C-alpha cells in the first residue's frame, strides 16, 4: 500500500494502483465494508492519518490504537489494517476504523477457538450491570458475575487489567455479543488438582488452604479442588466458642490432615496439631490443692471456664463458686476476662479436664460462724424468707439460719404459727445445731421459753393412773384432757375389759374417767391411755390382796371380800 500511495499522482501508476487494489480486494470489488492495509502518514494530538491508497487519506482516533491499560505505540510509516466505513465523507476524507478492523480479525480467531473449545486470552477492564467487560484483543466480551470465580469474589481489583485465560461460552456476530467465562477455566484446573491431591493425600500431611465456608461447628477449607472440614475443636488448643473468633471466609490457612476416608473422600483437618500440645506436663504442674491465677474465658449456666495458660482451661462448677450463693447464675458472681484465683480440685488427664474451685480461695463463712458462735447461744436476725416448712433468718450478711415449723411455737405445730412473722421482721432465736460441712444452722424460737409440756408432764410416767376429762367422742376413740396442756387418746379396744362395754357412745363430753398411761409421745405432746389396762391392774391387785383363785378362792369371793372391805372403810369414816 505504500507503493500505491507513492504513485497516486502518477498517471502511469494508475494502472498499477488498479492492479494492487484488485489484489487487495480480491474478487470483492466493493471497497467499503472491508479491511485493508494502509500506512501511517501523520500523527495528531488525538488522531492518526492513514493512507489506504484512495483519493484521500483517512483519519482514525488515536485511542483506537491503544489497548486498555497500555500507552499507544504508533509512528509514521507503520503499516496498519483498518476498516473502510466510507470511501469519502463530506470533508473529502476516507472514513476508517482501526477498532472495527481489529474486531474483524479477532472475531475470526475467536470463532475458531470457540469451535475448537480452546481457551482465549483477555483482560477484565470495566464493570457493567450484572458483570464485567473483557478485552479479547480488540473484541469486547461480557463476563457475567457468576462466571468470574468458583466462589463469590469480594474484591475484583486484583483481576482487573491482567491477561488471563477465558472460555468463550456464546458468540452472536450479528449482534456483536460475546459471553466468556473465567470460572470454567478454574474448574478445569481445580478438577486436575483434585485428582492429584486425592491421589497423594495422607494423614499427617500439611497443606495450604482457603477458608470457604464457616458454620457453628467448624469451617470448610478448600485445599485446591477438594474441601476438608476443620472442626471447631481442632482450630486451637484454647477454647474457641465460634470459628468466626479466629477465621474468616477467604483467609489462607495452614492445616494438617487429621483423618482421611478414601471411600467417602471425607477429610478432617486440624490447625492446633501444628502447634505444641500445651497439655504435656500438665499432670506435674496442676496438682490438687495448689492455687493458680487465671482469666475467666467463658461463662455457662453450669459454671465458668478459667484460662490458666495458653491452651489450658479449667472449669469452676457453679457449686464451687461461692460458699453462700447457691442459686445464682455464674454471670452474677464473675465476669468474662476477670482475673481470679482458683484452687485445683481434680485433674483428669485422659479427658483433659481440670476441676477448679473459686470459693476455696476465700474464707469459709460457715466455719467462721461455727467458731464465733456455739449451740444454745441466743442470736438476733432479720427474717429473709418465710416458707411452708419454716423461715430463714439472716445471721450475717452471707449466712442464713433456718427455724423449722416445729421450732416456732410450743403450742402450735402448724403453718398458722408462721403467720405471725413476715419478711423483714427482726426476731430472736436460739442456735440449736450447726453443721459447717453441710452448710446448715438450725434455729429455734420456742426454745427461748420453757416448754410448758415439760411442767405438765411432771409426775406422769408410763403406767401411771390419771384422772382425765372426756373432750371428744369419735367412732373408734375417746379424746381426753389430762390437764390444760396434755391431751390423750383412749382407743375403742381400751375403753373396757368387757367387750360389750367397748363403746365410745357410753361416754359423754365432760365426763371424768380414770385411765392408765400406756405410752407417751413427747414430740407430738400426746399420750395414749387405757381404761381396760387400769381395770386389769385393779383386778390383779384385788386378787393379790384377797388370795388367788389358784388357792381355792373364787373371783366372786374375792370381789365380795373387796366390797365388804370398802363398806367397812365407809362405816369407819
Domain locations along the chain: 2-103, 119-186, 201-274, 284-361, 365-448, 463-546
Query: Quick one: pLDDT at residue 215?
Result: 93
Q: For the segment 183-235, what is each residue's pLDDT rounded down to a tens digit?
A: 988 888 777 777 777 878 888 889 999 998 999 999 999 887 788 999 999 99
Query: Quick one: pLDDT at residue 551?
Result: 44
| Angle 391-397-403 from CA coordinates, rounded to 5° | 20
pLDDT-based confidence at 45, cuts 50/70/90? confident
Q: How do 266-270 and 227-231 pair as beta strands? A: parallel
Mean pLDDT over 364-391 rounds to 91
- Check residue 328 and report its DSSP letter: S
Q: Which fold has domain 463-546?
A: OB fold (Dihydrolipoamide Acetyltransferase, E2P) (2.40.50)
pTM over 0.85: no
Query: Quick one: pLDDT at residue 561?
Result: 52
Query: Quick one: pLDDT at residue 12?
Result: 47
Does domain 201-274 correspond to CATH entry 3.40.50.360? no
Helix (H) or strand (E) holding 568: helix 555-572
Higher pLDDT residue, 570 or 457?
457
Does domain 365-448 correspond to CATH entry 1.10.1740.10? no
Q: Is the pLDDT of residue 2 over 70?
A: no
Distances (CA, A) of 471 to 479, 482, 507: 6, 10, 10
Q: Is the pLDDT of residue 513 over 90?
A: yes
pLDDT-based confidence at 392, cuts 50/70/90? very high
Higher pLDDT residue, 51 or 158?
158
Does domain 119-186 correspond to CATH entry 2.40.50.140? yes
State the alpha helices, DSSP H only, in 334-456. Answer: 365-372, 452-456
Does domain 2-103 correspond to CATH entry 2.40.30.20? no
SS3 label, residue 157: helix
Query: Quick one: pLDDT at residue 268?
Result: 92
Q: By C-alpha distance, which of 332, 524, 500, 310 is closest to 414?
A: 524
Cβ atoms 211, 219 nearer than 8 A: yes
Cβ atoms 402, 442 nearer than 8 A: yes
**CATH topology of 2-103 equal to that of 365-448?**
yes
Query: Which residues share a beta bridge with 465?
Result: 516
Q: Is the pLDDT of residue 30 over 60?
A: no
Query: Quick one: pLDDT at residue 69?
Result: 62
State the alpha helices, DSSP H only, in 401-519. Answer: 452-456
Q: What is the CATH number of domain 284-361?
A: 2.40.50.140
Query: Quick one: pLDDT at residue 55?
Result: 67
Lowest-confidence region among 9-13, 244-248, 419-423:
9-13
Mean pLDDT over 37-58 rounds to 77
Higher pLDDT residue, 42 or 364?
364
Lowest-confidence region among 122-126, 150-154, 244-248, 478-482:
150-154
Q: Is the pLDDT of residue 65 over 50?
A: yes
Query: Quick one: pLDDT at residue 29?
Result: 46
Mean pLDDT of the chain: 82
Amino acid at each position: 500500500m505504500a507503493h500505491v500511495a507513492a504513485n497516486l499522482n502518477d498517471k502511469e501508476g494508475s494502472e498499477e494502483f488498479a492492479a494492487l487494489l484488485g489484489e487487495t480486494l480480491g474478487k470483492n470489488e466493493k471497497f467499503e465494508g472491508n479491511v485493508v492495509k494502509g500506512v501511517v502518514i501523520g500523527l495528531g494530538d488525538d488522531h492518526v492519518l492513514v493512507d489506504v491508497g484512495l483519493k484521500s487519506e483517512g483519519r482514525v482516533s488515536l485511542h483506537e490504537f491503544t489497548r486498555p491499560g497500555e500507552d499507544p505505540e504508533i509512528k509514521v510509516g507503520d503499516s496498519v489494517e483498518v476498516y473502510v466505513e466510507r470511501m469519502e465523507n463530506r470533508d473529502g476524507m476516507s472514513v476508517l476504523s482501526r477498532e472495527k478492523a481489529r474486531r474483524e480479525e479477532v472475531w475470526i480467531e475467536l470463532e475458531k477457538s470457540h469451535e475448537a473449545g480452546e481457551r482465549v486470552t483477555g483482560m477484565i477492564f470495566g464493570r457493567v450491570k450484572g458483570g464485567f467487560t473483557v478485552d479479547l484483543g480488540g473484541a469486547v466480551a461480557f463476563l457475567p458475575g457468576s462466571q468470574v470465580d468458583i466462589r463469590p469474589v469480594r474484591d475484583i481489583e486484583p483481576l482487573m487489567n491482567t491477561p488471563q485465560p477465558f472460555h468463550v461460552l456464546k458468540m452472536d456476530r450479528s449482534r456483536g455479543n460475546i459471553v466468556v467465562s473465567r470460572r470454567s477455566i478454574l474448574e478445569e484446573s481445580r478438577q486436575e488438582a483434585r485428582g492429584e491431591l486425592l491421589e497423594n493425600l495422607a494423614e499427617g500431611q500439611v497443606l495450604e488452604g482457603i477458608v470457604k465456608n464457616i458454620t457453628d461447628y467448624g469451617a470448610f477449607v478448600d485445599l485446591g479442588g477438594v474441601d476438608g472440614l476443620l472442626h471447631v475443636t481442632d482450630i486451637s488448643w484454647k477454647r474457641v466458642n465460634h470459628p468466626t473468633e479466629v477465621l474468616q471466609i477467604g483467609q489462607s490457612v495452614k492445616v494438617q490432615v487429621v483423618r482421611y476416608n478414601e471411600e467417602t473422600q471425607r477429610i478432617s483437618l486440624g490447625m492446633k496439631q501444628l502447634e505444641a500440645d500445651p497439655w504435656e506436663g500438665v499432670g506435674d504442674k496442676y496438682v490438687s490443692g495448689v492455687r493458680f491465677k487465671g482469666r475467666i474465658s467463658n461463662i455457662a449456666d453450669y459454671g465458668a471456664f478459667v484460662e490458666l495458660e495458653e491452651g489450658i482451661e479449667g472449669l469452676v462448677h457453679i457449686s464451687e463458686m461461692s460458699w453462700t450463693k447457691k442459686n445464682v447464675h455464674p454471670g452474677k458472681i464473675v465476669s468474662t476476662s476477670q482475673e481470679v484465683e482458683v484452687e485445683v480440685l481434680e485433674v483428669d488427664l485422659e479427658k483433659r479436664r481440670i476441676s477448679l474451685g473459686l470459693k476455696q480461695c476465700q474464707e469459709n463463712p460457715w466455719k467462721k460462724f461455727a467458731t464465733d458462735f456455739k449451740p444454745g447461744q441466743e442470736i438476733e436476725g432479720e427474717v429473709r424468707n418465710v416458707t411452708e416448712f419454716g423461715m430463714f433468718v439472716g445471721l450475717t450478711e452471707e449466712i442464713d439460719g433456718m427455724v423449722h415449723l416445729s421450732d416456732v411455737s410450743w403450742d402450735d405445730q402448724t403453718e398458722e404459727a408462721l403467720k405471725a412473722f413476715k419478711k423483714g421482721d427482726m426476731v430472736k432465736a436460739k442456735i440449736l445445731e450447726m453443721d459447717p460441712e453441710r452448710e446448715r444452722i438450725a434455729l429455734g424460737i420456742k426454745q427461748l421459753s420453757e416448754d410448758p409440756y415439760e411442767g405438765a408432764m411432771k409426775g406422769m410416767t408410763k403406767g401411771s393412773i390419771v384422772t382425765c376429762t372426756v373432750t371428744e367422742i369419735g367412732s373408734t376413740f375417746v379424746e381426753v384432757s389430762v390437764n390444760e396442756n396434755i391431751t390423750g387418746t383412749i382407743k375403742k379396744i381400751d375403753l373396757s375389759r368387757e367387750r360389750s362395754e367397748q363403746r365410745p357412745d357410753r361416754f359423754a363430753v365432760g365426763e371424768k374417767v380414770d385411765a392408765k398411761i400406756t405410752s407417751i409421745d413427747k414430740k407430738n405432746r400426746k399420750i395414749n391411755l387405757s381404761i381396760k389396762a387400769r381395770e386389769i391392774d385393779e383386778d390383779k391387785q384385788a386378787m393379790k390382796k384377797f388370795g388367788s383363785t389358784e388357792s381355792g378362792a373364787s373371783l366372786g369371793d374375792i370381789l365380795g371380800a373387796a366390797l365388804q372391805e370398802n363398806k367397812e372403810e365407809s362405816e369407819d369414816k
